[in-house]
Amino acid sequence: MRTVAVVGASLAGLSAARSLRKQGYDGRLVVVGDELHRPYDRPPLSKEFLAGTLGEAELALESDDEDLAAEWLLGTRAVGLDHRGRTVRLADGREVRADGFVLATGAAARTLPGSEGLAGVHTLRTLDDARALRDELARGGRLVVIGGGFIGAEVASTAYALGLEVTVVEAAPTPLAGPLGEAMGAVVSGLHADHGVRLVCGVGVKGLSGESRVDAVLLEDGRSLPADIVVVGVGARPNVEWLEGSGIALDNGVKCGADGRTSLAGVVAVGDCANWYDPRAGHHRRVEHWTGARERPDAAIATLLAQGAVEPGVPRPPYFWSDQYGVKIQFAGHAAAADSVTVEAGSADGRDVLAVYRRAGDPVAVLGMNQPRLFTRWRKQLAATS
C-alpha cells in the first residue's frame, strides 16, 4: 500500500493512524475530519470541560512532540466512497485516492424533531456543542435534560454542581436499564434524587414550546416542564449515510468481522460507526465506548496491512466509566447476557456498590460505584474467563 486514507479524525481515527505507523506502515497517510479541530478527548465534554475546570488545550489527544507524518484534511466531511476508483469524495469537491481505507466517522447525536432553530436547545457530541452549552449553563436557570442515559446524567450532575435547577426526563420506566439492567439502573439513577435533581420516568416528550427560544418541555401525559435550557440526550446514530451506494454492507453502522474487515477489500472500520462481530456473543455489536475506539484499531490495521486472512483475537469485554455527583461509575461486560446480579461489596443505599452479573453462575459483567480497586480486580477476572 502506498496511500492509506483514514476517514474520521477523532479518537478511533487517531488510534488507527498511530497503529499504522506502529505496525510499520511508512507510506502516505491522509486523515480526513469534518471538524476543524485536531483530535480531542470527548468524555470530559459533559463533565470537567462543561464545568469550566478543564481547558481546551487539555482535551488534546496528541502530544506536543507527536508526528505521524500525516496529511490532515480538516473541516471537510466525506460524502462518498468509490471503491472501484479507490477514492473518497469530500464535500469541498476534493477527492482522496488511496489503496486502503479506514472508516472512523463515528456517530452523531440524535435530535428532537421540531427543535431545529429554537434557541436554548442543545445536543452534546462535539467540542463546539460543549462550548455553546457551557456558555448557556453559566447564565443559570432551569435545565431540562431529555434522556436519562450516561451523557444526560453527566450533564445533569454538572449543571447541578453549577447551581441550576435540573429535571431529567426518561421515557423508560427505569433509567440505564439497557446498559445496566433494571436493578442496578435504578441504583445508579438514584443519584439524581440523592442530590435533589427531579427525575421524571415512564413518559415521553411530545415536543417543546417557545417562540424563538425554548420555554418548556411538553410531555405526552399533558404536563409541561418550564425550561430555560434543554439538553437532548437520546442516543446517537452512526455516521454512515455517506457510504450508501458504495457497495459496503451497512447494518446499524458499517458491518464488520471480528477483525474490522468490511465487505469491501482494502476497507476496515473502527469506532462508533463500526458494527463488529463479537465472537463471544455470536452476533454483531456496535460499541460506543472510548476503550473500543482506542483498542480495536490495532486489529483492524493488522487486517488492512495483511491484505489477507488474519486470525482475530478475542476483544476484551467492553468497558466504560462515568462520573456523576462525585461518584465514579465503572462497568465492564454485557448486562443483557446475565440471568442474575449480586452485590459483592458495599451497598446500594451507600452508592458504593460492587455488583457482579452472572449467567449460569459464570460472571459476564461487573459494575462498580466508588469501588475502583475491587472493580479492577473483577474486570481482570472477567477478561480472563470470557
| Separation CA 126–CA 109 (nearest Å) | 9
Asked if the structure places residue 362 within a domain, the reply is yes
Q: Which pLDDT does position 326 carry in this prediction? A: 95
b/e code 101-140 from CB counts within 10 Å (16+ = b):
bbbbbbbbbeebeebeebebbbbbbbbebbeebbebbeee
pTM of the model: 0.93
What CATH number is associated with residue 70? 3.50.50.60
Pairing of strands 107-109, 121-122: unpaired
> Is 177 among the domain residues?
yes
295 and 158 in a single domain? The answer is no
Show the cell assigned to 181: 439492567
| Distance of alpha carbon 237 from alpha carbon 160, whole angstroms | 28
Of 234, 252, 286, the residue at which a domain comes to its end is 234
Mean pLDDT of the chain: 94
Q: The C-alpha cell of 384 is what?
A: 480472563
pLDDT band at 281 (very low <50, low <70, confident <90, very high): confident
Give mean pLDDT, residues 15-27.
97
Query: What SS3 class is residue 110?
Result: coil
* Spatial separation of the C-alpha atoms in residues 256 and 240, rounded to whole Å: 13
Question: Which of 184, 212, 234 represents a domain boundary (last residue)?
Answer: 234
301 and 242 together in one domain: yes
* Region of residue 282 (phi > 0: left; psi between -120 and 50: alpha; otherwise: beta): left
Residues near 234 by Cβ (< 8 Å), separated by ≥ 6?
Answer: 110, 112, 146, 147, 149
pLDDT above 80: residue 307? no
At residue 279, the pLDDT reads 84
Q: How far apart are CA 319 and CA 365, in angstroms?
A: 10
Q: For 166-175, 255-264, 266-275, 316-325, which range has the lowest pLDDT when averaged over its residues?
A: 316-325
Nearest to residue 343, comparing CAs of 330, 325, 358?
A: 358
* Whether residue 76 is found in the same domain as residue 176: no
Both 58 and 122 in one domain: the answer is no
181-213 residue pLDDT tens:
999 999 999 999 999 999 999 999 999 999 999
Per the structure, the count of domains in the chain is 3
151 lies in the same domain as 70: no
**Length of the chain as a residue count:** 386
Residues 6+ apart with CB under 8 A from 104: 6, 7, 8, 9, 10, 12, 13, 16, 269, 270, 271, 273, 274, 297
What is the enclosing helix (H) or strand (E) of 191?
Answer: helix 182-194
User: Is residue 306's pLDDT more than 60?
Assistant: yes
Q: Are residues 165 and 192 in the same domain?
A: yes
Domain that holds residue 170: 111-234
Boundary (domain end) residue, out of 190, 211, 234: 234
Arithmetic mean of pLDDT, 53-67: 95
Using one digit for the tens of pLDDT, what is the confidence trace for 32-47?
A: 999 999 999 999 999 9
In a domain, 316, yes or no: no
**Lowest mean pLDDT, pick from 74-88, 237-251, 286-300:** 286-300
Backbone angles phi, psi at 357, to 5 degrees: -95, 135
Same domain, 94 and 115: no
Assess whether 98 and 116 both reside in one domain. Answer: no
Judge whether 283 lies within some domain: yes
Q: What is the mean pLDDT of residues 246-255?
A: 97
**Rounded to whole angstroms, how far apart are CA atoms 236 and 56?**
23
Please say whether the beta carbons of 33 and 72 come within 8 A.
yes
| CA–CA separation, 138 and 34 (whole Å) | 28
Cβ atoms < 10 Å from Cβ of 317: 22
**Neighbouring residues of 77: CB distance < 8 A, sequence distance ≥ 6:** 32, 34, 90, 91, 242
User: Model confidence at 317, in pLDDT bands (50, 70, 90)?
Assistant: confident
- For the record, the C-alpha cell of 245 comes out as 451506494
If you average pLDDT over residues 88-108, what whole number do you get?
Answer: 97
Among 304, 80, 55, 349, smallest CA distance to 194 is for: 349
pLDDT at 206 (0 to 100): 96
| Amino acid, single-letter form, for residue 39 | P
Q: Is residue 218 part of a domain?
A: yes
Residue 161 has pLDDT above 70, yes or no: yes
One domain for residues 190 and 290: no
Between the CA of residue 3 and those of 80, 103, 105, 329, what are the distances in Å? 18, 14, 19, 42
Q: Please report the pLDDT score of residue 386 as a whole number.
A: 61
Q: 198-226 burial string, b = 16+ CB within 10 Å, else e?
A: ebbeebebeebebeeebbbbebeeeeebe
